[in-house]
Amino acid sequence: MKQIHPYSTFQEAIQSLDNGGSFFNLFSHSKDGVVSPAELGKVAGVSFDKQSLILFLVMSLTRLDNTSREKVLARLDVSLFKQFEKHQPVHMSIEQLAETGKPGMSATLVGTPKRIGSQESFGGMIMVPVIVGTVTSFTMIPMVNTYEVYELKSDYSEETVIVAHPKDQGSLPERKLRLGGVLTSLSQSEHVTHPDQVFLDIQYYMEEN
């Protein structure tokens, strides 16, 4: 999980993104007017996760006007623009996420996270892989064992959704944020109201005005 400080101008965005990538990215060059996946990955803090790359890009451009945003997108190289078209996240309200969210979707939403501190407060389970030698199996564990879990309540209805991130990544501030991540299945328990309920596995967040 990483905090994003969104760009405020086209010039700021392109100076950050057109950075040449890492030293081993021989085919990426800084200030050449083209933004490659390697260059975006350097800023986003990821290398091969295409969903995360595009999620970072979209969230970092949130504060730009439409013209500036389109100018940045026009600088993406062909492969990165194809990734953008394929993995562009859906911005959802809390109600939309609760009703139509599907596992595997990239999504962003706005709300104030309230931490859930114990299994007694939240009994959701997740499936994790267990590898023994060359054999991989899966087992169910309480989500709060490995995740910091929060709930987001709608300002317009009684709807509530769950968002979470790994415990080793600190804690979210409990104020209004824009959260971005991938929707992940939440296994059924007494606290899960729908068999297909999902939670947002947070990868990025930013302060929301």
> Cβ distance 197 to 181 under 8 Å?
no
Q: Is 164 exposed, middle or buried (0-12, 13-18, 19+ CB in 10 A)?
A: buried
Block residue for tokens 């600190």: 170
30 vs 113, residue with greater confidence: 113
Residue 135 pLDDT > 50, yes or no? yes
Q: Specify the pLDDT at position 120.
A: 47
Q: Find the mean pLDDT for residues 100-117.
A: 93
Predicted model pTM? 0.84
173 vs 125, residue with greater confidence: 173
Q: Where are the domains of the chain?
A: 2-88, 94-207
Q: Specify the pLDDT at position 100.
A: 93
Block residue for tokens 């995740």: 147
Report the CATH fold assignment for 94-207: OB fold (Dihydrolipoamide Acetyltransferase, E2P) (2.40.50)
